C-alpha cells in the first residue's frame, strides 16, 4: 500500500501568533445554536444511508483539510478521487475566505496552527484499482468520524470503499455532514461520532434529459450532471435526438445534423466525449438514445430518402436497406463515444399511417406479407440486432414489450413509462425493467407533487425475490417541450431528489414513516443545500413544480 499526503503547513513567529491569539480563541469558544427549522430527531442526509449511528459531539473541521488516499496495487492516488476532493473541499469551505487561495484568514491559517481543529484530515481507502464504470459497479462505502483511539483526543474521518465510485458516494455524504457555523465561522460536523455503512438499493438510478425539443448547451448538461452526483444518481439517459431536431455530429453520415434547429445548436463528437468523461469523473454513466422507427422526422433533413415520402415523414422508411445502413452507421460512431453497456433504441409511439399511405412502402409490405404491426416488429428487432452486434444491450420503451413480448431479444431491458404494472409483467416473463411511470416520475408533469414522486416504487406489484432482482432501478424523465436552459434545473429539482432517495435508500426505512413528518423537512433541507451549491432548485411544496416562491420566508419552509 502507498499513501498520498498533501503539503504540510508552515509556521509563523511567536509575536505574530500572540497578536491573533484572542481572536481565534474567541471564535473557537463561541456558542452554537441549532436552526429552528431543524428537528434533532431527524438525520439531515439525502439520500438516507442504509445504516448509521451518531453521537452528540460537535467537531470543528480544519479548512486546510488534507487527503490521504490508500490504494491497493501500488496506487498512490486516483485522478478521480483527487479531483473529487478538490471539488468537495471547495463546497465545504466556501465561506469566510477559506476558498482556495483567497482571503486573509486562509492565508493566516496557512502560517499558524493556533486553533486545535478536531478533524484535520480525511483518509480514503479503496480496495480496487479498477475504475471501469458500468452497470452494477460497487458503490458501497463505509464512513466513520471517530476518535483515533480510546485514549486519543484526535478525531479521524475515514471512507472505505471497494471502488473509487463508492468513495465518491462517501465523499458526498461527508460533505453533507459538514456545515458552516456562522457564529464560530468554522465548518462543523454535528452529532459525532458517525458510523455509516451505505450502499444503493438499485444499480440503475437515472435521469433522462431531452436535448432535442430544446437544445441545452454543454455547460448546462454539465450542471445537471454535477447536481445528479449530489443526489447519488448514476445514469444520465441522454435523449439526444427526436423528431424536432438532430443535433449530434455523426461522421459516417455527416448530413444528419442538418436536422438541428440551427448551426449553433449542435453537439460535436468532441462535445459528446467531454460529457461522457465529465460524467465518469462523478460516477455517472451516460446512456444515449436513438429512438426508432418513430420520433425520427429530423433525420430526413439531411437524408430525405429516410422519409417514406416528402409529405409523410415518419416512421422511418422500413422498406429500404439504406435506413438500416444509417442506423448501423450512427451506432458504430456512437459506440466509439459511449462505453456504457446499455443503449436505448426507443420504439415508442410508432404511428404507421405513412407506411400504408406511401405506395412503395405499401407494396413492400404486401410483397413481404406483412401488416404494419409486423413491420413495426421487424424494424425494432432489426435495430436490436444492430445494437447487439456493437456489443450493446438494447433498451426499449414498453410499447415493444406490450406489442410483441415473445419476439424481443431476451437481453432486452423494458423501459416502463405509460402505466403502472408493466415492470411486474416484464419481469414475470424474464425481462429486466426500468421504472419511469409517467404518472409519478415524468418531471414535465408539473402538477405531480413531491410526495407522490417520493412514495412511488419500482418494485410495485412485484413480490418474488427472483423477479425483484430483474428490476434494474428507475429513472425520472425531463422531457424538454417546456424546458430549456432557463428553467430545466428548477424543473428537475427538488422532485428528482425525492425519487433519488427512493432508489438509493432502504425501502422499509423510507416507506414505513409519515413522509410529511420525516422526509419533507429533510427534502427542504436538501433543496436549500442545492441552492447553496449553485443549483436553482425550486421550492418543494408549490402546487406547480418550478414555480417561484409565493412570498417572503425561509428557504427551509418552501
* Residue keyed to cell 416484464: 426
d(CA 243, CA 128): 44
How far are the Cα atoms of 251, 256, 261, 305, 310 from residue 301, in angstroms, in the given order?
A: 16, 7, 11, 10, 10
According to the model, what pLDDT value does residue 32 have?
37
Q: Are the CB atoms for 441 and 453 separated by under 8 Å?
A: yes
According to the model, what pLDDT value does residue 33 have?
39
Q: Are the CB atoms for 182 and 34 separated by under 8 Å?
A: no
Rg (CA), the chain: 26
Q: Are the CB atoms for 401 and 352 separated by under 8 Å?
A: no
How far are the Cα atoms of 101, 120, 150, 193, 528 from residue 154, in angstroms, in the given order?
A: 27, 9, 10, 12, 32
Q: Are the CB atoms for 205 and 504 separated by under 8 Å?
A: yes
Residue spans of the domains in the chain: they are: 51-198, 204-506
* Whether CATH 3.40.640.10 fits 204-506: no
In the Cβ-directed half-sphere of 172, how many Cα atoms lie within 13 Å?
29
* Residue keyed to cell 476532493: 85
Which are the catalytic amino acids? 349
The strand ranges marked E within 353-480 are: 393-397, 413-415, 432-435, 471-478
According to the model, what pLDDT value does residue 518 have?
87
Tens digit of each residue's pLDDT, the chain (558 residues)? 334 333 333 344 444 444 444 334 343 433 333 444 566 788 999 999 999 999 999 999 999 999 998 876 445 678 999 999 999 999 999 985 555 445 555 555 555 556 789 999 999 999 998 999 999 999 999 999 998 777 777 899 999 999 999 999 999 999 999 999 999 999 999 999 999 999 999 999 999 999 999 999 999 999 999 999 999 999 999 999 999 999 999 999 999 999 999 999 999 999 999 999 999 999 999 999 999 999 999 999 999 999 999 999 999 999 999 999 999 999 999 999 999 999 999 999 999 999 999 999 999 999 999 999 999 999 999 999 999 999 999 999 999 999 999 999 999 999 999 999 999 999 999 999 999 999 999 999 999 999 999 999 999 999 999 999 999 999 999 999 999 999 999 999 999 999 999 999 998 766 656 777 889 999 999 999 999 999 999 999 999 999 999 999 999 988
Q: Which CATH class is domain 51-198?
A: alpha beta
d(CA 82, CA 87): 9
Tell me which residue of 44, 339, 85, 13 sits closest to 176, measured CA to CA: 44
According to the model, what pLDDT value does residue 142 have?
98
d(CA 107, CA 102): 8
Amino acid at each position: 500500500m502507498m499513501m498520498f499526503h498533501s503539503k504540510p503547513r508552515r509556521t509563523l513567529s511567536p509575536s505574530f501568533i500572540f497578536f491573533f491569539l484572542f481572536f481565534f480563541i474567541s471564535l473557537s469558544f463561541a456558542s452554537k445554536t441549532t436552526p429552528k427549522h431543524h428537528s434533532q430527531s431527524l438525520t439531515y442526509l439525502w439520500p438516507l444511508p442504509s445504516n448509521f449511528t451518531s453521537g452528540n459531539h460537535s467537531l470543528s473541521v480544519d479548512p486546510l483539510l488534507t487527503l490521504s488516499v490508500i490504494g491497493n496495487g501500488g496506487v498512490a492516488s486516483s485522478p478521480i478521487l483527487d479531483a473529487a476532493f478538490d471539488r468537495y473541499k471547495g463546497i465545504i469551505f466556501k465561506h469566510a475566505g477559506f476558498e482556495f487561495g483567497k482571503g486573509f484568514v486562509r492565508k493566516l491559517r496557512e502560517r499558524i496552527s493556533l486553533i486545535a481543529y478536531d478533524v484535520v484530515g480525511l483518509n480514503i481507502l479503496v480496495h480496487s484499482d479498477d475504475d471501469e464504470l458500468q452497470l452494477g459497479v460497487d458503490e458501497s462505502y463505509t464512513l466513520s468520524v471517530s476518535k483515533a483511539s480510546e485514549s486519543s483526543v484526535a478525531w479521524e474521518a475515514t471512507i472505505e470503499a471497494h471502488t473509487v465510485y463508492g468513495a465518491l458516494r462517501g465523499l458526498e455524504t461527508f460533505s453533507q455532514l459538514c456545515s458552516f457555523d456562522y457564529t464560530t465561522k468554522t465548518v462543523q460536523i454535528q452529532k459525532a461520532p458517525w458510523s455509516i455503512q451505505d450502499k444503493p438499493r438499485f444499480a440503475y438510478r437515472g435521469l433522462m434529459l431531452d436535448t432535442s425539443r430544446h437544445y441545452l448547451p454543454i455547460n448546462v448538461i454539465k450542471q445537471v450532471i454535477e447536481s445528479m452526483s449530489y443526489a447519488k444518481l448514476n445514469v444520465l439517459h441522454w435523449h439526444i435526438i427526436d423528431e424536432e431536431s438532430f443535433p449530434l455530429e455523426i461522421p459516417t453520415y455527416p448530413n444528419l445534423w442538418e436536422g438541428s434547429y440551427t448551426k449553433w445548436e449542435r453537439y460535436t463528437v468532441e462535445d459528446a466525449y467531454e460529457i461522457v468523461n465529465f460524467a465518469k469523473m462523478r460516477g455517472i454513466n451516460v446512456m444515449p438514445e436513438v429512438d426508432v422507427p418513430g420520433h425520427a422526422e429530423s433525420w430526413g433533413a439531411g437524408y430525405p430518402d429516410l422519409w417514406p415520402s416528402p409529405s409523410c415523414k415518419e416512421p422511418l422508411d422500413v422498406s429500404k436497406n439504406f435506413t438500416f445502413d444509417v442506423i448501423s452507421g450512427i451506432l458504430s460512431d456512437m459506440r466509439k463515444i459511449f462505453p456504457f453497456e446499455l443503449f436505448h433504441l426507443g420504439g415508442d409511439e410508432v404511428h404507421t399511417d405513412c407506411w400504408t399511405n406511401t405506395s412503395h412502402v405499401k407494396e413492400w409490405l404486401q410483397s413481404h406479407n406483412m401488416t404494419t404491426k409486423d413491420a413495426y416488429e421487424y424494424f425494432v428487432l432489426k435495430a436490436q440486432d444492430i445494437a447487439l452486434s456493437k456489443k450493446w444491450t438494447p433498451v426499449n420503451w414498453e410499447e415493444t414489450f406490450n406489442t410483441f413480448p415473445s419476439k424481443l431479444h431476451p437481453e432486452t431491458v423494458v423501459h416502463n413509462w405509460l402505466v403502472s404494472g408493466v415492470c411486474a409483467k416484464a419481469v414475470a416473463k424474464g425481462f429486466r425493467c426500468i421504472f419511469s411511470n409517467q404518472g409519478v416520475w415524468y418531471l414535465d408533469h408539473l402538477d405531480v407533487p413531491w410526495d407522490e414522486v417520493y412514495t412511488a416504487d419500482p418494485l410495485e406489484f412485484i413480490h418474488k425475490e427472483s423477479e425483484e432482482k430483474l428490476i434494474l432501478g428507475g429513472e425520472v424523465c425531463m422531457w424538454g417541450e417546456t424546458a430549456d436552459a432557463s428553467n430545466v434545473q428548477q424543473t428537475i429539482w427538488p422532485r428528482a431528489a425525492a425519487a433519488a432517495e427512493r432508489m438509493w435508500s432502504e425501502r422499509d426505512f423510507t416507506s414505513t414513516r409519515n413522509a410529511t413528518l420525516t422526509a419533507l423537512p429533510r427534502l427542504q433541507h436538501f433543496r436549500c443545500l442545492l441552492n447553496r451549491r449553485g443549483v436553482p432548485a425550486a421550492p418543494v411544496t408549490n402546487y406547480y413544480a418550478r414555480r417561484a416562491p409565493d412570498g417572503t420566508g425561509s428557504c427551509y419552509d418552501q
